[in-house]
Amino acid sequence: MPSVLILGAASDMAIAIAKKYASENYQVLLAARNVNRLDALQADMNIRSNAQCSLHEFDATDFQSHASFWNSLPVKPSITICVFGYLGDQEKAMTDWNESEKIIQANYTGAVSILNIAAQYYISQQSGTIVGISSVAGERGRQSNYIYGSAKAGFTAYLAGLRNRLFHSGVHVVSVQPGFVNTQMTAHLKLPPLLTAEPKEVADAVYSAVVKKKNTIYVKWFWRWIMLIIKMVPEFIFKKMKM
């Protein structure tokens, strides 16, 4: 049975991805902080899809634990999906280093730490897939979220470099740029419905991208063009805008 590891498994997006893979008869390894809160999800998945779902304690910022976390997995997953992230409070982060650091570590450093380990394993196997959920926020810095955006920009560049390196070992890397998604992370924001995806759409897009070996996907196709336009605005105009 093929297996998938989902890092940051308590998120709405991750739960939808887990259910999608369970429905496709994957063994699903759910990794999250305080993972016991996913007991009900685990039981539900085991009953409904016979998915052999297991729970694993994982903190993206506990870097020293990552090697032992990986070594302790009951099976080595054929797919590793990095979903965790932290939007944080940009206003606070501008003056509070602890908040900045939390954003950087949850969106960039933590991902690099665990995916470096996954990558070495996949190179040794000459097969495997890594998926990273990044963000269009990383495509151009804006005053309203440039700390989160810069961490995601770093993550996007990391995934691109990793894809380039791992290609030569038969390992594939998918970068996911979801656009707005209706989750706990954005529950306090008024998102434009037409531009906003549901977690299930992300899950279907991730599954399909892995099967088709896509490099970078935008969950709703038009986000690629929205971001292209945003990136084309000349800096002397862009810096005067309040975005």
Per CB under 6 A, residues contacting ligand NAP are: 8, 10-13, 32-33, 58-61, 83-86, 106, 110, 133, 135, 178, 180-181, 183-186
List residues bridging with 180 in a β-sheet.
196
Q: Which is nearer to ligand NAP, 51 or 83 (CB)?
A: 83
Q: Dig out the tokens for 54 from the structure.
A: 């297991």
Q: Which is nearer to ligand NAP, 122 or 180 (CB)?
A: 180
Question: From the CB of 136, what's the least distance to ligand NAP, in Å?
Answer: 7
Residue nearest to ligand NAP (CB): 85
Question: From the CB of 236, what's the least distance to ligand NAP, in Å?
Answer: 28
Handedness of CA 143, 147, 148, 152 (dihedral sign): positive
Q: Which is nearer to ligand NAP, 50 or 91 (CB)?
A: 91
Q: Which is nearer to ligand NAP, 3 or 11 (CB)?
A: 11
Q: Which is nearer to ligand NAP, 128 or 149 (CB)?
A: 149
**Separation CA 240–CA 235 (nearest Å):** 9
Nearest to 216 by CA among 161, 185, 173, 158: 173
Phi, psi dihedral angles at 152 (to 5 degrees): -70, -35
Q: Which is nearer to ligand NAP, 12 or 201 (CB)?
A: 12
Handedness of CA 159, 162, 167, 173 (dihedral sign): negative
Q: 3-class SS at 77?
A: coil
Question: From the CB of 125, what's the least distance to ligand NAP, in Å?
Answer: 25
Question: From the CB of 119, what's the least distance to ligand NAP, in Å?
Answer: 18
Question: From the CB of 233, what's the least distance to ligand NAP, in Å?
Answer: 21
Question: From the CB of 222, what's the least distance to ligand NAP, in Å?
Answer: 15
**CA angle (183 as vertex; 20, 93 as ends), nearest 5:** 130
Q: Biggest alpha carbon distance in the chain?
A: 57
